[in-house]
Amino acid sequence: MRDRSAARTTIGRRMADTILVTGITGYIGGYVAAEALRRGWRVRGSLRDRARADEVREAIRAAGQDPSGVELVELDLLRDDGWEGAVDGCRFVLHVASPFLTQRPAHADDLIAPAVEGTRRAVTTALRAGAERVVVTSSVAAVQQGHRVAGRPYGPEDWTDTASREVTVYARSKTLAEREAWSIADRLDARGRLAVINPGTVLGPLLTDDKGTSVDVLARLLSGAMPVVPDLHLPWVDVRDIAEAHVAALTSPVAAGRRTIVASDSLSLIEIARIVRERVPEATAALPSRSLRGAALRLASLVVRDLRDNRPFLATPRRFDQSGAEALLGHPLRPIPEAVEDTVRSLLDRGLLA
């Protein structure tokens, strides 16, 4: 009897230290899982297709962690199947999974429905199952669009106005999904068990050959695909800071019931190009040196779809309150020039700039 009791205690302790990471196949999800492993958590990761299991293991290994103990489960943001089993026994849930596109999808619901419904499934199931905390990946896209640029840094009290015609479909999806998370937490009287991370545009070393959407912006800049770059301003951030913030938010009182912006002040694409020239000169052969501005930019934004879809960021610098991130992390965010250099060298090492 003593041995069986000891076995049950061991199993209970192990399960109590398990976290679910949804979207483990993604750029952020892979880093979050690796950071959780580094801090001693057991990881259960969700993916939509088990055929990507080897890719997950490769990513975690590239991040310096052993993937052998990672448990993988299949989940779909648009289906109920499997969610209760996925959160069962998990002390915490990190809901990272969400679609991400920079171009307008054929139908808005192609982006909005999985973002909102996936968040609803993850948050509701986790809180009802007794998870101590649910951390949801939102975005600064849920903070900064649809209203005049503030004369101060954007902070956690700022929300994107989804009724504005200037708001991108992606920003609408992230805003509606995050508001759904807070609404569920309030209905279940569990606001203190929810934490939200609002990252900027993600940079950092790749874990696989999949550039993803955000790093592809930099890759296109380096490849010569944009001989003249638009005056596009984005709030960049290192993926390693994002991952660290997510895992810290599992237990930190600083994150409980709060939104935490993890983003630098915005930098334009031409400023990013200058950083590359200074730090990785061997990658600058096709790098543009001119920026499209003023009347020419306004005219181009009327006819070029990519520019039209990103109009809120054209010629519009923004600042962001980084105090919440610094309090959560215990240190300042990594400098963006360092993140740019590490990203470019990663692209070079993987031969992804040919």
Radius of gyration, alpha carbons of the chain = 20
Q: How far apart are CA 57 and CA 63, in angstroms?
A: 10
The β-bridge partners of 21 are 45, 94
Tell me whether residue 48 is in a domain: yes
CATH number (domain holding residue 70): 3.40.50.720
For residue 10, the model assigns a pLDDT of 33
Q: Is residue 215 part of a domain?
A: no
Q: What is the pTM of this model?
A: 0.92
Does residue 287 sit within a domain?
Answer: no
Specify if 300 maps to a domain.
no
Q: How many CB atoms lie within 10 A of CB 36?
A: 24
Q: Is residue 290 a contact partner of residue 226, using CB atoms and an 8 Å limit?
A: no
Q: Is residue 252 part of a domain?
A: yes
Whether 60 is in a domain gets the answer yes
Q: In the prediction, which pLDDT does 42 show?
A: 97
Please name the residue that has the structure tokens 């990946």: 137
Range of the domain at 322: 2-202+237-265+318-333
Which residues, other chains included, contact 201 with Cβ-Cβ below 8 Å and sequence gap of 6+? 214, 217, 234, 235, 236, 237, 263
Pairing outcome for strands 233-234 and 267-268: antiparallel
Residue 273 in domain: no
As a whole number of angstroms, the distance between CA 272 and CA 233 comes to 10
What type of residue is 65?
Q
Q: Which two tokens stand for residue 3?
A: 């041995």
Q: Residue 61 is inside which H or E element, if any?
A: helix 53-62
Number of structural domains, the chain?
1
Q: Among candidates 27, 301, 328, 37, which has minimal Cα distance to 168?
A: 301
Q: In angstroms, rounded to a whole number, what is the distance separating the alpha carbons of residues 122 and 118?
A: 6
pLDDT in tens, the chain (354 residues): 333 333 333 333 445 599 999 999 999 999 999 999 999 999 999 999 999 999 999 999 999 999 999 999 999 999 999 999 999 999 999 999 987 554 555 678 888 999 999 999 999 999 999 999 999 999 999 999 998 876 899 999 999 999 998 899 999 999 999 999 999 999 999 999 999 999 999 999 999 999 988 899 899 999 988 888 899 899 999 999 999 999 999 999 999 999 999 999 999 999 999 999 999 999 999 998 888 887 676 766 655 667 777 778 888 899 999 999 999 999 999 999 999 999 999 999 999 986
Single-letter amino acid, residue 5: S
Q: Which two structure tokens, joined as six digits, stand for 143? A: 């903070």
CB 100 within 8 A of CB 216: no
pLDDT (0 to 100) of residue 212 = 86
Q: Classify residue 322: in a domain, yes or no.
A: yes
